[in-house]
Amino acid sequence: MTANGRTSTAPDVADVVALGESMVTFLPSRPGRLADVPSFDRAIGGAESNVACVLAAAGHSVRWVGRVGADGFGDHLVEAIGGYGVDVRAVRRDPARPTGIYFRTAGDRATDAHEVAYYRAGSAASAMSVGTMDLDAIRSGRILHLSGITPALSADCLGLTRELTARRPGRPLVSFDVNHRPGLWRDAGHGHGPEVLLELARGADLVFVGDDEARDAWGLDGPEAVRAALPEPELLVVKQGATGATAFHGAPGPSGADQVTSVPALHVDVVAAVGAGDAFAAGFLSATLRDLPVRDRLRHGHLMAAAALTVPGDLATPPARDHADRLAALDDTAWGSLRLGPGWTQDGERPGDRTGEGADEEVRTP
Catalytic, out of 177, 211, 278, 353: 278
**Residue 85 contacts by C-beta under 8 Å, 6 or more apart in sequence?**
56, 57, 62
Strand partners, 321: none
**Is 75 designated active site?**
no
Q: What is the DSSP letter of 265?
A: P
Q: What is the DSSP letter of 204?
A: -
Enclosing H/E stretch for 121? none
Write b or e for each residue in 294-309: b if 16 or more Cβ atoms lie within 10 A of its Cβ, otherwise e.
Answer: bbbbbbbbbbbbbbbb
Give the Cα separation of 98 and 68 in Å (integer).
7
Q: What count of Cα atoms within 13 Å lies in the side-chain half-sphere of residue 352?
A: 8
Which segments of 90-192 does DSSP mark as H helices, in order?
135-138, 150-153, 155-165, 182-186
Question: Coil, strand or helix: which one is 175?
Answer: strand
Closest to 17 in 3D by CA, of 59, 58, 61, 54: 61
Strands 23-28 and 101-104: parallel
Closest to 250 in 3D by CA, of 210, 300, 298, 293: 293
Q: What is the DSSP letter of 333?
A: H
Give the Cα separation of 358 and 362 in Å (integer).
7
Rounded to the nearest angstrom, the gap between the alpha carbon of residue 29 and the centroid of all alpha carbons in its chain is: 26
Give the Cα separation of 70 and 92 in Å (integer).
9
Q: Which residues are catalytic?
A: 278
